[in-house]
Every structure is written in structure tokens, then in C-alpha cells.
């Protein structure tokens, strides 16, 4: 009997202790900012802007940034060929009003230029590529001057018939990128560019202007064909000149 009462008393005590522990649990109240102290906010620095080309656009290139990077002269020979070795020819390309400046040349060309054929001759660059006088801007401003010079070195009565001349100009920037708007390969055809260089009727076959060994030509013969353009690179009629004449500008 005593053991039964003891067990009951133990159970009652345990139950009362459990109830007291449950009642002692309280919910945490939210923290109120009663003193108006600013709460701490983490401000992270902005990320650096991406280095995009769109954010830093490169300045647009102009005509001053493109230069004559190649020159080809296309010669259509008539029914009288240029003889091999017995004659030579020189070819020059430059801007007008150049004051002695020369862009491209091909000198002492001794090979034959056969009759009734068309041949492309690539000239050698003389000018510094990025020279201001060699720029597209300068050629547009002053125009083009081309000279085809001929000397019959062995026979003073020899001649060379030219039917037409075409000049091909190749403009690029210093990195080799072609110029826009048709100037990557600008073709200038001279519709009025026929004529005979060398001996023609009326020339004095005995009038020797220079020693034969020095690209002579003969004094009163038509030894040069001069081809020009205006400032828009439109072709002008060709002019035949004797050896002493010069009108490259």
C-alpha cells in the first residue's frame, strides 16, 4: 500500500514539474528600433564597367588615313610593238602639284610589249607609304599624274604605238585594310590616250639629244605620254611631249 502511494506521489510531482517547464517558455519579441539608430546596411562598391569596344569607339578613318599601296599601269599596244632591248620605257605615278614627289615607278623596262596586246605592269613604290603626299586625301585634292616615257636606243626611226592606257590605284591604311567606297582598287581608264611614241613623220632622225647609253631618246621625237586627272580622279585627255618637255603637274 505504501509503495503504491509513493508511486502516485512521484507521478504527481513529475507532472507538476513538466507543466511548470512548459509555462516558462516564451516567444522572442522582435527588436524595435526605438532610438531611430540607423540600421547597418552593407554597401558594396560598384563593379567596374566592362572594357567593351562599344564603350570606347575608335575614331572613324578619313581619306588622310589611306595611302597609295599599289599601282598598276595597263598598256594596250597598237599595231607597232615596243621592241625588246632595242628600246626602253619608263613609267611614273605621282600626285599632281607634287614638287618632285614620286609615288611609284618602273624604269628601264627593256622587254617587248607585243603589238595588239594588253599587258599589266606593276610599278615599284618609291614613296614612304604613310607620307601625307601619298595619301588618298592628297590625290583627291590635286589629282593624278602619270608619265609613260619611251626611248628607241638602237634605231632612231623606231616607234611604239599605244592604243589606250588604264591606271589601277590600290589604297590601304597602314595595317593593310583596303579603303572603302571603291578606292581599294580604283580604276582610271583614259579613253583619249592613243598615240605614237618615238619617231613620227617630220622628226629629224639625226638629232641626237643625249648619248645613246643613257636612256636617250631623240630630241624632237614624241618621247612621252602624259596622263592626268582632275581633283576628282576623272581622266583628262593624254598629251604627247618631246624629250625636253615636262608638264607633270
In angstroms, the Cα distances linking 101 to 15, 138, 249 are 116, 12, 11
CA distance 160 to 116: 11
φ, ψ for residue 33, nearest 5 deg:
-90, 75
Query: By C-alpha distance, which of 72, 75, 105, 93 is closest to 165?
Result: 75
φ, ψ for residue 87, nearest 5 deg:
-150, 160
Residues β-bridged to residue 145: 94, 228
Residues β-bridged to residue 77: 162
CA distance 160 to 151: 9
DSSP tag of 208: B
pLDDT, residue 99, reads: 86
Q: List per-residue pLDDT tens for the chain, 249 residues long.
A: 455 555 555 555 555 454 545 454 454 455 555 555 555 555 656 665 555 555 667 788 999 999 999 999 999 999 999 999 888 999 999 999 988 899 999 999 999 999 999 999 999 999 999 999 999 999 999 999 999 999 887 777 889 999 999 999 999 999 999 999 999 999 999 988 899 998 877 776 665 544 444 444 456 688 899 999 999 999 999 999 887 777 777
pLDDT, residue 148, reads: 96
pLDDT, residue 151, reads: 86
Homologous superfamily (CATH) of 63-242 is PLAT/LH2 domain (2.60.60.20)
This prediction has a pTM of: 0.74
C-alpha 31: how far from chain center = 72
pLDDT, residue 152, reads: 82
Q: What are the grid coordinates assigned to 226, written together? A: 602624259
CA distance 167 to 188: 5
Element at 74 (helix H, strand E): strand 67-77
CA distance 103 to 129: 9
CA distance 216 to 154: 10
Amino acid at each position: 500500500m505504501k509503495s503504491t502511494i509513493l508511486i502516485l506521489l512521484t507521478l504527481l510531482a513529475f507532472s507538476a514539474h513538466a507543466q511548470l517547464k512548459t509555462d516558462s517558455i516564451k516567444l522572442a519579441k522582435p527588436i524595435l528600433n526605438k532610438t531611430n539608430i540607423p540600421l547597418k546596411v552593407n554597401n558594396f562598391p560598384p563593379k567596374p564597367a566592362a572594357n567593351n569596344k562599344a564603350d570606347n569607339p575608335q575614331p572613324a578613318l578619313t581619306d588622310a588615313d589611306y595611302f597609295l599601296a599599289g599601282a598598276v599601269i595597263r598598256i594596250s599596244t597598237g599595231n607597232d610593238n615596243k621592241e625588246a632591248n632595242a628600246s626602253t620605257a619608263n613609267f611614273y605615278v605621282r600626285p599632281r602639284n607634287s614638287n618632285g614627289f614620286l609615288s611609284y615607278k618602273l624604269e628601264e623596262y627593256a622587254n617587248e610589249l607585243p603589238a595588239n596586246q594588253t599587258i599589266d605592269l606593276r610599278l615599284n613604290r618609291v614613296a614612304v607609304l604613310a607620307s601625307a603626299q601619298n595619301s588618298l586625301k592628297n590625290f583627291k585634292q590635286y589629282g593624278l599624274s602619270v608619265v609613260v616615257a619611251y626611248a628607241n636606243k638602237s634605231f632612231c626611226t623606231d616607234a611604239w604605238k599605244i592604243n589606250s592606257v588604264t591606271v589601277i590605284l590600290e589604297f590601304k591604311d597602314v595595317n593593310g585594310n583596303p579603303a572603302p567606297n571603291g578606292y581599294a582598287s580604283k580604276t582610271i581608264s583614259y579613253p583619249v590616250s592613243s598615240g605614237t611614241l618615238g619617231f613620227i613623220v617630220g622628226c629629224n632622225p639625226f638629232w641626237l639629244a643625249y648619248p645613246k647609253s643613257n636612256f636617250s631618246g631623240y630630241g624632237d621625237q614624241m618621247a612621252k605620254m602624259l596622263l592626268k586627272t582632275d581633283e576628282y580622279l576623272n581622266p583628262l585627255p593624254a598629251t604627247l611631249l618631246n624629250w625636253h618637255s615636262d608638264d607633270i603637274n
